[in-house]
Chain A
């Protein structure tokens, strides 16, 4: 295997890992865009999504697609409930209170889940044929193709919703200026609720895909991917949808290249070093515009 072949194989690995980060990062960035909240419970919503998918597949014996859709639907509802009961009462509270509440929700989800499903990791049954395709020296398998395809489809649907539907237009309006949007007759509470629902559904999709891809889920599985997705969202420019998608994929590729060509032990360090570098040199992220804050 030459160095170039190795590089391309690492790209394939990085893109499938990055697609997962991108799906989670989208939810982070949507929520931040609309209410300026870093929803630290997002990684745990992803974990709940993985468990719902797991129960649909193992207990109900459903195929992947219905399991994925049901998991997205139920997790979306969970996201809306969290927003309704944990964040909405604090809408006018200082941002730090909401942030701390988000950390509380995160622990609540982790340990409630641990109570019900035990801390033992569960193994997903292999529901997809493990067929791997050897294209020259590269290997790509069914799961990687599926992850990438589902990510692209979901992103396309999201773009359509945000850009071309009435709800999307309202979301953009609320994100731009909540009070003015309300004056124009937009029910901003409902729009914020929908945003949480969509973001959580995307995280659930990532959870189910990870379960199928890596075969193992546990109640604390959301912590690390949650943090990585946060880095991805900041890297792309928090609050900007294409930024989250790009940030996720770029982060996945960087991690793959760092562990492939430098050292596997530096991989996580590299991800968080990126966060520090972005915050130091371009806090608005890759796709963010520099705006002067009005004083």
Chain B
């Protein structure tokens, strides 16, 4: 049944895309990257579907970066124009949306937000030689393939999974000083599985012991059976690298079962929906690594800019990463002094010490920015910054 649903959606999306192309080419065929006064950037984000909270926030951040540069007179006199498309939180739709953007001859693409959607877009931008910046795709596979070869056209503005698994294992052993851990991963996402693996390696290397490893799949509703099993193993902490919807339910059900151990997570937790689903009380004594905290002194300037542009609304982590991606791209276009995708790509590869929303970053040889992670503790439903851990700690 599910398969048929997907197929239907693909067909209707294709039809829709075909109609949209017809409309666009009918009324605005002259728009292209070679336009003398504008530089066109594609924004491909999850605006609907189960990762919509991530995608729409990242787009808000990107819009701010673009607005900022246009208000300041554009890049070398040229206005930056955003072409926004929705990938509906599905890999097949992400590929369709990317195809549409490269057909429209954008100079570069920002997005999608999640790893799976970026991986689906990757062959398309590689074939058409258009650089893509993934703001929040933390899987190492996004920029480096299994054989260790760097994909020349994919970049990102966030740190990678191993760093988060590393940081949380360090936090568990050094700060919380725990000896045993259970790992509970979402076996339907690469994100969760790879984080679980890295955490296990680092935690055991630091002398800890993993007493139980469990898995669930997305859309599961009931976690009590597995949590009962984890409770019986009696770990000092439980590491749950997953996305907010399931995390909220897991935290709630764990506390209902009387599990009081600290629960650890990663940036997938960073959404206020977690508080809605789990409840503020259940979330006490939980910690997760993320890219950004509004209590970090380095980001105060970005927060002010974002609030001014969005009627006082505060940015979240995905907005910060979307903004960083926008800043990186704009800087690269400035340095390339061209709207040619190939030249922008070369400039992105050599970015060094540029100022973005979350601090100063440089691009490493694997197309990953070198930046710190912060650890957030949940206290009565609000986020408190505990630590900022630099890479190679």
> A interface vs B, CB < 8 Å?
1, 6, 9-10, 13-14, 17, 40, 103, 106-107, 110, 118-121, 123, 126, 130, 132, 134, 139, 141, 210, 214-216, 218, 220-221, 223-225, 227, 255-257, 259-261, 263-265, 267-268
A217: nearest chain-B partner, CB-CB: B221
- How distant is the Cα of A121 from the Cα of B1 in the complex, in angstroms? 20
A110 to B257 alpha-carbon distance, docked (Å): 33
Q: Do the beta carbons of A255 and B221 come within 8 Å of each other?
A: no
> How far is A120 from B273 in the complex, measured between Cα atoms in Å?
11
Residue of A whose beta carbon sits closest to that of B245: A121
A263-B215, A264-B214 given; name 13 further pairs at CB < 8 Å: A6-B228, A13-B225, A17-B225, A119-B49, A141-B256, A216-B245, A216-B277, A223-B2, A225-B221, A260-B228, A260-B229, A265-B215, A267-B225
Question: Given B8, B216, B229, B252, which contacts A6 in the complex, CB threshold below 8 Å?
Answer: B229
Q: In the bound complex, do residue A215 and residue B252 qualify as a contact, i.e. CB atoms below 8 Å apart?
A: yes
Residue in B closest to A123 when the chains form the complex, CB atoms: B276
A215-B50 in contact given A14-B225, A265-B187 (Cβ < 8 Å): no
CA distance A106 to B49 in the complex (A): 19
Cβ-defined contact, A215 with B248, below 8 A: yes
How far is it, in angstroms, between the C-alpha of A225 and the C-alpha of B225 when the chains are bound? 16
Smallest CB separation, B229 vs chain A (Å): 5
A40, A214, A264, A265: the one contacting B225 at CB < 8 Å is: A264
Tell me the B residues contacting A by CB distance below 8 Å: 1-2, 4-5, 8, 48-50, 52-53, 187, 214-217, 219, 221-222, 224-226, 228-229, 231-232, 234, 245, 248-249, 252, 256-258, 273, 276-277, 279
- Alpha-carbon gap, A224 to B220, bound state (A): 9
Q: Whole-angstrom distance between the alpha carbons of A102 and B188 in the complex?
A: 29
From B52, B215, B224, residue with most partner A Cβ within 10 Å: B224
What residues on B are CB-neighbors of A220 within 8 Å? 219
B232: nearest chain-A partner, CB-CB:
A1
Complex Cα spacing A157 to B6, Å:
39
CB distance from B221 to the nearest CB of A (A): 5
Check B279 against A126 for contact (C-beta < 8 Å): yes
Q: A215-B248, A216-B248 are in contact. Are A40 and B256 (CB under 8 A)?
A: no
Return the chain A residue nearest B276 by Cβ: A123
Other-chain residue from A139, A216, A261 in contact with B256 (beta carbon distance below 8 A):
A139
Specify which chain A residues have a CB less than 8 angstroms from the CB of B256 in the assembled complex. 130, 132, 139, 141
Q: Roughly how many angstroms separate A123 CA and B278 CA in the complex, as a whole number?
A: 10
Contacts of A14 in B (CB 8 A): 225
In the complex the two chains form, what is the Cα distance from A123 to B50 in whole Å? 13
Give A119 to B245 CA distance when docked, in angstroms. Answer: 13
Residue of A nearest to B282 (CB): A130
Collect the chain B residues with CB atoms within 8 Å of residue A257's CB: 225
Which one, A17, A119, A139, A261, contacts B222 given CB within 8 A? A17
10 closest Cβ pairs, A-B complex: A123-B276, A259-B225, A264-B226, A256-B225, A13-B224, A1-B232, A214-B221, A6-B232, A9-B228, A260-B229
Instruction: List chain B residues, Cβ under 8 A from A10.
Output: 225, 228
Chain A residues within 8 Å of B257, by CB: 9, 139
Q: Select A1's contact among B48, B231, B248, B279, beta carbons within 8 Å.
A: B231
B214 and A214 contacting across the interface, CB-CB below 8 Å:
no
State the Cβ distance, B24 to closest chain A Cβ, in Å: 24
Measured between beta carbons, the chain A residues less than 8 angstroms from B232 are 1, 6
Tell me the nearest residue of chain A to B222, going by C-beta.
Answer: A17
- The answer to whether A121 touches B2 (Cβ under 8 A) is no
- List residues of chain B with CB within 8 A of the CB of A1: 231-232, 234
- What are 21 A-B interface contacts by the 8 Å CB criterion? A1-B231, A6-B228, A6-B229, A9-B257, A14-B225, A107-B4, A118-B48, A119-B50, A215-B276, A216-B245, A218-B50, A224-B219, A255-B225, A256-B224, A256-B225, A260-B225, A260-B228, A264-B214, A264-B216, A265-B187, A265-B217
